[in-house]
Structure 1
Amino acid sequence: MTDVEFPEMRENVLSAVRAFSDVEYQNRVWLRREYPHEGYFDDFSLNLNILYDDTLVLEDPVSALGKVLRSHEEVSAMAELAEGIDSVLREEGYGRSDAEYLRSPYWAGVLTAAFRAYSVLAA
């Protein structure tokens, strides 16, 4: 499958997954609030909402196949990312600060899964 029904949504997914995969970006933008330009905003919750609520790629990766995801490999990678994020939320709880999530001993699993997912999605 080479095309998707919602390419703009896919771009949002790529951006959110990239944010979850890059600890330097997270520290610079999410924690220190050093934005690349005026009017820019990004944080943990925004990216979580993109992946769970707006596009459903983490809620139900299989249903996103053909709509936002291109292959079963992408579905698998997003399922792994969902598992990593769910683990952090389960252990740390909801409503924590970005800094608290990033300090979690479970955050490394998110970084690893997001890096793999981004590698697959961007290929």
Structure 2
Amino acid sequence: MSRDFVKLPAMRQEIISAVRALSDSDYQQRVWIDRIYPHADFFDDFTLNVNTLHDDTTVLDDPAAALGRTLADDAEVEAMQCLAGRLDEILDTVGREADDIAFLQSPLWSGVVTAAQEALRLLDR
């Protein structure tokens, strides 16, 4: 299935934006920790991106169910399953209410970033 034929392309863009934020360590430090925003009325943090992927789009709750709606093929589904696993692991280990800095300092964080980079590579093809 082509990315052009997903049923919810705007929601797909929300997913890509959240995955992009999770894939970029420099962005995370600058925006989430140092709070240097690109323009007024901007906000972003780890929780916002997790909520986008879990609550708003539900793509991480069941990536296979998103096939055809927001994900275009099995490779994207597998990449999002991997990202979901990494995020669940760090949320369970660090604690869901922890500050962003606690997540970024966790030894598990590099696995989240790597999984997000792979997912983004596929989503951006």
Q: Distance in 2 between matches of 1:15 and 1:110?
A: 15
Runs of 4+ aligned residues of structure 1 deviating over 6 Å after TM superposition are none
Instruction: Give 1:12's aligned amino acid.
Output: E
Answer yes or no: is 1:11 the counterpart of 2:13: yes
Q: What are structure 1's unaligned runs of at least 5 residues?
A: none
Answer yes or no: is 1:22 the counterpart of 2:19: no
Residue-pair matches, total: 123
Instruction: Give 2:10's aligned amino acid.
Output: E
Q: Which of 28, 33, 40 pairs up with 1:38?
A: 40
Indicate the residue corresponding to 1:67 in structure 2.
Answer: 69
Instruction: Give 1:101's aligned amino acid.
Output: F
Question: Deviation digits for residues 33-58 of structure 1, max 9, x if unmatched?
Answer: 10100011100010000000111111
Q: Distance in 2 between matches of 1:95 and 1:89?
A: 9
Question: Deviation digits for residues 39-97 of structure 1, max 9, x if unmatched?
Answer: 11100010000000111111100010000000000000000000111110111111000
Instruction: Give 1:29's aligned amino acid.
Output: V
Q: Distance in 1 between matches of 2:96 and 2:13?
A: 26
TM-score normalised by length of structure 2: 0.97
Superposition pairs of residues 97-108 of structure 1, within 5 angstroms: 97-108=99-110
Instruction: Give 1:87's aligned amino acid.
Output: E
Answer yes or no: is 1:87 the counterpart of 2:64: no
Q: Distance in 2 between matches of 1:84 and 1:99?
A: 17
Q: Distance in 1 between matches of 2:98 and 2:119?
A: 24
SS in 2 for 1:59: coil
Q: Distance in 2 between matches of 1:110 and 1:61?
A: 16
Instruction: Give 1:114's aligned amino acid.
Output: A
